[in-house]
Structures are given as structure tokens and as C-alpha cells.
Amino acid sequence: MSDTPSDTRKPGGRESLDFLREIVKRDTLSGAYGGRVATRFPPEPNGYLHIGHAKSICLNFGIAAEFGGCCHLRMDDTNPETEDMAYVESIIGDVRWLGFDWGNKLFFASDYYERLYELAVRLIKDGKAYVDSLSEDEIRRHRGTIMEAGRDSPWRDRSVEENLDLFARMRSGEFPDGAHVLRAKIDMAARNMKMRDPLLYRIRHASHYRRGDSWCLYPMYDFAHPLSDAIENITHSICTLEFENNRAIYDWLVDNLFPEPRPRQYEFARLNLDYTVMSKRKLLQLVEESLVSGWDDPRMPTIAGMRRRGYTPEGIRLFADRIGVDKANSRVSMELLEDAIRDDLNARAPRVMAVLRPLKVTITDFPEGKVEWLESPYWPRDIGKEGSRKLPLAREVFIERTDFSEDPPADWLRLAPGGEVRLMNACIIRCEEVVRDTATGEVTELRCVHDPDSPGKPPGGKKKKKTAAIQWVSAAHAVPAEVRLYDRLFTVPDPEAAEEGKTFKDSLNPVSVEFLRGCLLEPGLANASPGERFQFVRHGFFIADAVDSRPGIPVFNRIVGLRDAYARRIRQRADSLLTGPSRIG
RNA sequence: UGGGGAGUGGUGAAAUGGAAUCACACGUGGCUCUGACCCACGGUUUCCAGGUUCGAGCCCUGGCUCCCCAGCCA
């Protein structure tokens, strides 16, 4: 793993352990597994990994690392109809990108098919499993309900010989899909529905992405998963809450087929993030219906999407660390994720200047044709890093349109008619004249004068800050660029909880991305390499898009905006203006 | 109505019978050539009702609310 500063920034230094680490610590101390710790991350290769998986990955790999154990990466590939090598590759890439290493412990449940089959045979021989020949529908009806016990299948008491024979013929391809299944003989009246003779194997005449047509008999998750854990000598099998009921099967199978010390399953609450969806099915739907540009759309909560968006592995790990882990269903706010990303980027993204919505400024007392190259540090004082570049100042520059106001509020620190502002790393200018389009009235240019002595000068002994320092670019030197501003994908915190007659797609945010074309960047950014991250001062953190950006024609994605206390204040003022007066009655 | 889980400020988590703590968010103030970062201060008294105890978020009893389980998905 890594030892970047971000990793050590655990809340409260983490003296206290979460319930999972507590269990692992207990087992380590008691020598339950001879001090050994082995976890595993077991994705099914039928979709892309998302931030919810990242939580699980950080947990499993994190715990293994902290206790000197190892974490296996295992593809839980037991369903030939949905799985694909492309997903395996994306999963491997994503886990690696997150910064984790499984050494030579990459496994596939599909490699265990033969051993699993033998274990099933053993169960049959022990009279603990039987071939059921009921139809799918009959099986459902025999299962009963949560209130009524199920009924035994008429095939439940077949002889061992007959079961063995049937099971072998199921494997050899003699029967069509659905003709028979193998079930554990447990208890059709069990109060835990999962224990009513769970299905272990089903016939599927389907090509498997790894095993081809060598099998037409496939194990169910409930059978393959615990036994794969046992085969790999996993000690702590960590999964999400919805598998709590499945633990009974897990224990039943492993107890019946493996000696102590055997793996045990523990469950934690999966991650829910506000303003996004986390189910593979819904994510797939967004992709297939072209509601997003793909699995790596920067708005997607997928690892691929976050990577393209510019999130860092360190930031994501910091997030996972901060949210902790528990058994209570929870819903985490986006701010927690964004702050972790910012926290990480703050220390590693050099500051540069970009004007997203340009407004022309002519410095009338600046000689025509003159260019002044000004030393500009990449880092603010408090970061304590070295490095700078020279920025050209000329007669015509562009500033942010939002940094000028004709009718500013009392606490305005930026430019206004007759007012002053600091061009960051350069001089102070004063606005003498506002030029506007005669037809539309729109402000098209500001004519300013500058204080030639102001570059490099200290604030001048002023106690209280009276003007802002704003970003700017020289008109003649600026690099045009496209900048994409990403926002939350949905307009409601919990899109999955759609009301009657609606779906999660009804709450899709219509303005979740804004493409800005006429942006102007400082000259050095022309050759930003794809994947390179910067802070555009006073805007946020940005990354040169890995797919669309190229030298000379940069395209930047906003990773995350900077906090903006002023914008917040303005918003609140607007709100109180709206609600205030109407409340008088 | 059965079984399995869970309830601590707005959000996520600590506190393992001994002064409710941390992070994010929010508010106020300070610092600042980023209205960023950073610093300081502020708001909960632990789902409810009883009980045990010198002492309860932790233990007991009874409620309430929410989540999961009736796929040949995982």
C-alpha cells in the first residue's frame, strides 16, 4: 500500500477500532488461526466497480495489511450468463489503481468448479444434499412464505445412489435447463427462509467466459462462496448486511465440509452516497440508455468515472477511512467525499490561473506591445512547496466576468466601477470605464489603469483586507480551452427511493454537466499532459481529461470546486429576500 | 403477523458501567495576493417508557421506527 501523508490522517489517530478490526484483533490475539489473517474481495465480474466497492476494498485490503495478512482478489464467477472478461479486466485495473496489491492471490471461483463438484458429491454421499426435480415454479410454491413453513419436495428422499447418478448426468449434459437442481437437505420449515433446502447447483447450458462449454452445471453463490473462502483458507469473510441471513448456509456448508479453524462471515453496512445511485443494475441502465457517456463518465460513482473525473486513489482511501464502518444502514453526504478529495489535492495540485467566463480588460496606461514577465509561485505559502513560472502581463487581459460587478454589495472585494482589485501575482488595477454593447447593454470591456509599482509589493500595511486578488490571463498569450463543470447526477439525495409511478431516472439532474468552450488558460497549460491535475485558483481542482485533452487543445474536467463562503452568503441573502418579506403576516 | 439486523448533533462514526468525543456540514470571529487552506469559538445530551446501580449511550424489561429474507442473481 502507500504511505502518503493522506493515509495517516485518520480521524482521531484511530485509537479505537471498528467492530471488524476488533474481531480480527481478538482472533489474532487468541491465535484462532495461528495468528494468520486472510481476507478477500470477491466481486462478480458482471459490472464495473463503484465507490461502494471501494469501501469494501479498502476494508478488506486495509485489514489484511494492518494485521500482516493478505487479501485475495477473487472473481465470484458462478453465473455464465452475465459475466465477461472485460469486467474482470476493469475490476483488476480499478483495484490496482486504488493502490492495492494482491500479489499472486488472484483467484476465480470458476477455477474451483471441479473441487466444488466433488464437495457436492460428498454432501450427497453424506445424505445432506439431493437432486430435486420439481419445476422452478413448484419449488417456489413448496418454499412457503415468511409466515408458513414450506413443504418437503417429493424428491427429497431419493437414495444416495439415485442422487449420485442424477447429479453426474446433470453434469454430463443429459438434461435441459431447469430439469433438476441440487439442493441442500436442511429444513423446509426453517424460520430463516434461506435455510429451506437452498439450491446448490442449477443446469445452465451456457458458455462461460472462462470455462467455455466444459460445464453446463453451475454452483449457486450460496454454495460457491463459502466453499471458495474455505478452499483459499480465508479467515475473515467480510460482506454486506443483506447476506446476514445467508450466513446460516455459510456455516452449515463449511461446518459440514471443512475442519476448524474455518472462515467466518461478518457483515457490515454497505455505502450509500447522497445524490447518486449505487446499484449495478441502475448504473448499467444509465450506460445502456446513454443517459451518461459510459462507465467512465465523470459523473458516475464508478471507480472508472471517478478516475476520469480526477479523483485520486489517496482521496478515495481517505474518504473510506473517514466514513468508518458499522452495521447501521447509513447514507453519506457528498461533502464528505468531496472534502476528502480536496484535502488530498490541496497539498499536491499546483495553483495556476484560468478564466472560465472571460471579460476583457484593457489597461490603458500600459504601453502597447509591452510584455512584462512576472514570477508566479505554484504554491501558496502554507503548502511549503517550491516552484514557480513566469506569467506575461500585457495591455489587454481577461478576467472572470463574475469578478466584476456594476452594482456591488457592500462587502464586495472584487472589481467595480471606480474600484480597485489586485491581479493575482501582478499589479493593482482601477476600473475607469465600462464599455458596453450598444444594442444589448452587455458589458464587453473594462478600461482600467494600473499601479506599476504594485507588483511584488506587500499589501502595504493595510490591517483589513479591502480588495480581492483575482485570476487573469494575458489576451495575447492565453490558451483557449474547453472546461467541463460536473455536478451531482441527481437532484434528490436518494434517487432509488422514487415515488409511485416514477423511477430513479426521473430525478436525473438536467444540468449535471456544463461544457464551457471559450475558456482561457495561462500559457503553460497548453501542454498539460492528460491526467495532470491543477488547482485553477478560486475555482477548484481540475484535470486534463484523459480521453479528450491533447497538447495544444486542452480539455479540463472540474474534479471538485473550492469551498466558497462568499457564494454561500450571497445565496442565503437571496433566500432570505425571497422568504423574508412574505412572512410578515 | 415469522426470522435476521439496526437506532448517538444535519451526516458518518467514537465512547467496551465513571465527566458524551472526532470528522464533514452549519454559524460566528480571526488570518490571507485564492472570499481557498489554516486557526478559534458555538450548537446534541444518546428512539421512547420503566428498572438495576453511588453512577447507564453501554446492563435488564416493555414498546416504537427503519432495513434485509419467500431468484434455478450475487
Which ipTM score applies to this complex?
A: 0.96
Asked if A382 CB < 7 A from strand B, the reply is yes
The class of domain A19-272 in CATH terms is alpha beta
Nucleotide nearest to A457 (CA to C1'): B33
Residues 103-142 in A having a C-beta less than 7 A from any atom of strand B are 134-136, 139-140
E-strand stretches of A19-165: 38-41, 70-75, 106-108, 129-132
β-sheet bridge partners, residue A139: none
Residues 75-94 in A having a C-beta less than 7 A from any atom of strand B are 76, 78-79, 82
Asked if A322 CB < 7 A from strand B, the reply is yes
Distance, CA of A84 to C1' of B23, in Å: 40
pLDDT value of residue A5: 29
CATH superfamily ID and name for A481-585? Ribosomal Protein L25; Chain P (2.40.240.10)
Closest CA to A482 of A579, A383, A565, A550: A550
pLDDT along chain A (585 residues), means of 10: 32 69 95 96 97 98 97 98 97 98 98 98 98 98 97 98 98 98 98 98 98 98 98 98 98 98 97 96 96 97 98 98 95 96 97 98 97 96 93 98 94 95 96 96 97 61 70 98 97 89 93 97 96 98 97 96 92 70 36
DSSP string, A518-569: EEEE-GGGGGPPTT-EEEETTTEEEEE-TTT-BTTB-EEEEEEEPP-HHHHH
pLDDT value of residue A8: 28
pLDDT value of residue A455: 58
CATH 3.40.50.620 occupies which residues in chain A? 19-272
pLDDT value of residue A10: 35
Cα–Cα distance for residue pair A302/A280, rounded to 1 Å: 10
Exactly one of A196, A210, A280, A317 is catalytic; name it.
Answer: A280
Exactly one of A9, A25, A36, A44 is catalytic; name it.
Answer: A44
pTM, rounded to two decimals: 0.94
Active site residue A270: yes
pLDDT value of residue A501: 82
Asked if A568 CB < 7 A from strand B, the reply is yes
Residues 39-78 in A having a C-beta less than 7 A from any atom of strand B are 44, 76, 78
| Region A350-477: CATH code | 2.40.240.10
CATH 2.40.240.10 occupies which residues in chain A? 350-477, 481-585
pLDDT value of residue A572: 80
pLDDT value of residue A578: 63
